[in-house]
């Protein structure tokens, strides 16, 4: 290909954070005038790569060339001035300004107006002001918000704020616009409007790269795709070719075969319901994260909740744990309404969450991290027991500690080692062990295999089968869908905040359409068309 057609060229980029290889020898190019999608499962390295390209993260090795000029090593604002502009997942509008003023403010640096003349209003100030107004209205027209130019930006819907962030990026003089999950949380009609806007931007001469987890949205827009997994490029090419690539399918669904998969033999019995979720709805600002979710988890089951990133899985776990407040619907635990209970009260009642990313206290020892998992239970016995455990409460705490260390013998070997010095697999064992210190009735795990090698993933997931054999009830969120289905009794598939399929794990594993349903290549679930669209001019 003619090098003149290459706008951005990334060659051999690597980046390590401590023991984590976030990017490894990443190479790809972006051609002038195209729409390119950068995709990959959770933890693939997409955000790190965007940081390297846009100047907010420094690569350890490799080069980034934009319009024939090396830009790796430049500060983010210097990269921006050269015409490579990135938006972020949060729109972050200037809420005290109008829609038009937001766009005008973004264009000030590109207009090259002096600070003093701008403040005092002499020289080119009046001319620059007219230029900013004209440019602002032009960019608002591109995204369809020109009729709302005088409206307060804080009053826009979430979808409109996302469009405003794009207009602001265009006002900086962007030749290459990088959009970070532009469709996250938008409803179906808002996504259609967004797709039209991105296509319009390209027609007007701006090259677009976007990171997105909604692969149906990606398929409609992208002319080429670059797929990352574990920090490396595993596929490039046209959407039709990428979506059929077995390596890509494996990256999203996983390929770990588990020897400890659950047995389906033996007589079935009706188990009591531990957790019931009924019509749960939750919004972040104007973004719909959960939309009428219904599910149940019965005693002694492992229930998997699977779906692409951004589907609402973690939000659901957080709503059950009490760190997020639903807008509607009901949550019942052991037959009791969870709404009156605060976060720590839910933990004390027997709900434990091992969060994504583990959230360990890196400077504390393994022993101290485990003790933190007993905090809510000890708090119920009184302040003095919390400060100086004694008697039956101390005896029970010591007994639970022994149970956890017997279950994860590797933690016993590292009991007095700082948590931050453990391997990734050991840290995940510690995160689960800390949750088990609560002796929970319901154990919730959010992406326990995140960032782990296949052998370690196998060890962690097979440990869940051993927990269930002891009577533990488990709700599992897992990116490695195939492995999750091997250890779970039942599963629910979540797409854009809605349950689109559920059933016995074996049935879902054998369904020919599971790949499409999970990856989200196909159209949105039925009923999505009823959502209220953004008001955007043609």
DSSP string spanning 386-413?
HHS--HHHHHHHHHHHHHHHHHSHHHHH
| Domain end residue (candidates: 391, 415, 439) | 439
CATH number of the domain within which 113 lies: 3.40.50.300
**E-assigned strands of 114-219?**
176-180, 207-211
pLDDT of residue 203: 92
- Please give the pLDDT value at position 259: 58
CA dist 197 and 193 (Å) reads: 6
Say if residue 364 is in the same domain as residue 245. no
**For residue 377, what are the domain limits?**
360-439
> pLDDT 10s per residue in the chain (538 long)?
567 799 999 999 999 887 678 899 999 999 999 999 999 876 788 888 999 999 999 999 999 999 999 999 899 999 999 999 998 877 678 888 999 999 998 888 776 655 445 444 555 666 777 888 988 999 999 999 999 999 998 888 878 888 999 999 999 989 999 998 888 767 677 888 899 999 999 999 999 999 987 777 888 899 999 999 889 999 999 988 998 888 888 777 666 666 555 554 444 457 899 999 999 999 876 678 899 999 999 999 999 998 877 788 999 999 999 999 999 999 999 999 999 999 888 988 899 998 887 788 888 899 989 988 887 666 666 556 555 666 777 788 888 899 899 888 888 988 998 888 877 778 888 999 999 998 899 999 998 877 666 667 778 888 888 888 888 999 999 877 888 888 999 999 988 889 988 999 888 887 766 656 555 555 444 334 444 333 333 3
Q: Which of 386, 409, 439 is the last residue of a domain?
A: 439
pLDDT at site 538? 32
User: Do residues 227 and 88 share a domain?
Assistant: yes
* Among the listed residues 509, 369, 357, 514, the one whose alpha carbon sits nearest the alpha carbon of residue 445: 357
pLDDT at 288: 84
In a domain, 400, yes or no: yes
- Structural tokens at position 362: 């890196």
Residue 501 has a pLDDT of 87
Domain-located, residue 249: yes
**What DSSP designation does 148 have?**
G
Residue at 124 is within a domain: yes
Note whether 246 and 387 are same-domain residues. no
Residues 70 and 188 in one domain: yes
Nearest Cα residue to 215 out of 39, 44, 46: 39
CB distance 378 to 391 below 8 Å: no
Judge whether 447 and 359 are in contact, CB under 8 Å: no
Strand order across the 351-354 sheet: 351-354, 442-446, 473-477, 302-306, 490-495, 498-504
Residue 81 lies in a domain: yes
Residue 90 inside a domain? The answer is yes
Residues 6 or more apart in contact with residue 129 via CB below 8 angstroms: none
Which tokens sit at 352? 């434990």
Contact predicate 323/359, CB 8 Å: no
In a domain, 100, yes or no: yes
In-domain check, residue 419? yes
Burial of 375 from C-beta contacts in 10 A (0-12 / 13-18 / 19+)? middle
State the SS3 of 510-529. Answer: HCCCHHHHHHCCCCCCCCHH
Number of domains in the chain: 2
Closest by alpha carbon to 458, among 289, 202, 232, 254? 254
Please identify, among 253, 269, 301, the residue that sits at the C-terminal boundary of a domain: 253
DSSP H helical segments within 225-364, as ranges?
239-244, 246-253, 313-321, 343-349
pLDDT at 451: 64
Q: Do residues 228 and 366 share a domain?
A: no
> Is 384 part of a structural domain of the chain?
yes
Indicate whether 375 and 227 sit together in one domain.
no
Question: What is the length of the chain?
Answer: 538
Beta strand 176-180 pairing with 207-211: parallel
| Cβ atoms within 10 Å, residue 123 | 13
CA pair distance 173, 480, nearest whole angstrom: 41
| CA dihedral sign, ordered 377, 382, 385, 387 | positive
CA atoms of 45 and 24, how far apart (whole Å): 9
Q: Strand 176-180 to strand 6-17: parallel, antiparallel, or no bridges (unpaired)?
A: unpaired
């Amino acid at each position: 290909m003619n090098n003149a057609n290459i706008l951005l060229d990334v060659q051999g980029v690597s980046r390590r954070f401590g023991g984590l290889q976030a990017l490894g020898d990443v190479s790809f190019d972006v051609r002038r005038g195209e729409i390119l999608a950068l995709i990959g499962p959770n933890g693939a390295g997409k955000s790190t790569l965007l940081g390297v390209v846009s100047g907010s993260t420094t690569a350890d090795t490799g080069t980034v060339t934009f319009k024939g000029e090396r830009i790796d090593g430049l500060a983010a604002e210097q990269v921006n001035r050269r015409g490579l502009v990135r938006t972020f997942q949060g729109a972050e509008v200037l809420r005290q300004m109008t829609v038009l003023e937001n766009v005008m403010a973004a264009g000030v640096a590109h207009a090259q107006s002096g600070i003093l003349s701008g403040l005092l209003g002499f020289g080119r100030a009046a001319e620059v002001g007219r230029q900013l107004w004209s440019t602002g209205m032009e960019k608002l027209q591109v995204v369809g918000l020109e009729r709302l130019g005088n409206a307060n930006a804080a009053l826009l819907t979430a979808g409109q704020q996302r469009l405003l962030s794009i207009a602001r990026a265009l006002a900086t003089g962007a030749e290459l616009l990088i959009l970070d999950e532009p469709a996250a949380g938008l409803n179906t009609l808002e996504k259609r409007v967004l797709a039209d806007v991105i296509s319009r931007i390209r027609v007007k001469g701006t090259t677009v790269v976007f990171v997105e987890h909604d692969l149906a949205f990606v398929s409609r827009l992208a002319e080429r795709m670059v797929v990352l997994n574990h920090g490396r490029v595993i596929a490039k090419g046209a959407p039709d070719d990428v979506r059929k690539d077995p390596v890509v399918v494996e990256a999203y669904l996983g390929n770990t075969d588990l020897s400890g998969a659950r047995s389906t033999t033996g007589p079935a019995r009706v188990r009591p319901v531990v957790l019931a979720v009924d019509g749960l709805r939750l919004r972040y600002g104007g973004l719909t994260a959960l939309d009428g979710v219904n599910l149940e988890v019965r005693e002694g089951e492992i229930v998997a909740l699977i779906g692409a990133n951004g589907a609402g899985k973690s939000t659901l776990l957080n709503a059950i744990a009490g760190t997020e407040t639903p807008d509607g619907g009901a949550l019942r635990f052991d037959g009791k309404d969870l709404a009156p209970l605060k976060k720590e009260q839910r933990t004390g009642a027997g709900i434990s969450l091992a969060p994504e990313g583990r959230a360990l206290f890196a400077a504390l020892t393994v022993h101290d991290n485990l003790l933190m998992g007993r905090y809510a239970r000890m708090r119920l016995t009184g302040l003095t027991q919390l400060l100086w455990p004694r008697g039956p409460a101390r005896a029970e705490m010591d007994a639970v500690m022994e149970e956890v260390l017997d279950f994860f013998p590797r933690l016993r070997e590292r009991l007095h080692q700082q948590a931050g010095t453990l391997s990734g697999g050991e840290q995940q064992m510690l995160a689960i062990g800390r949750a088990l210190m609560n002796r929970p009735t319901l154990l919730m795990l959010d992406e326990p295999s995140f960032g782990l090698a296949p052998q370690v993933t196998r060890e962690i997931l097979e440990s869940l089968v051993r927990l269930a054999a002891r009577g533990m009830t488990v709700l599992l969120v897992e990116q490695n869908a195939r492995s999750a289905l091997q250890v779970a009794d039942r599963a629910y598939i979540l797409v854009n905040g809605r349950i689109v399929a559920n059933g016995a794990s074996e049935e879902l594993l054998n369904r020919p359409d599971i790949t499409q349903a999970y990856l989200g290549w196909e159209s949105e679930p039925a009923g999505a068309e009823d959502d209220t669209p953004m008001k955007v001019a043609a």
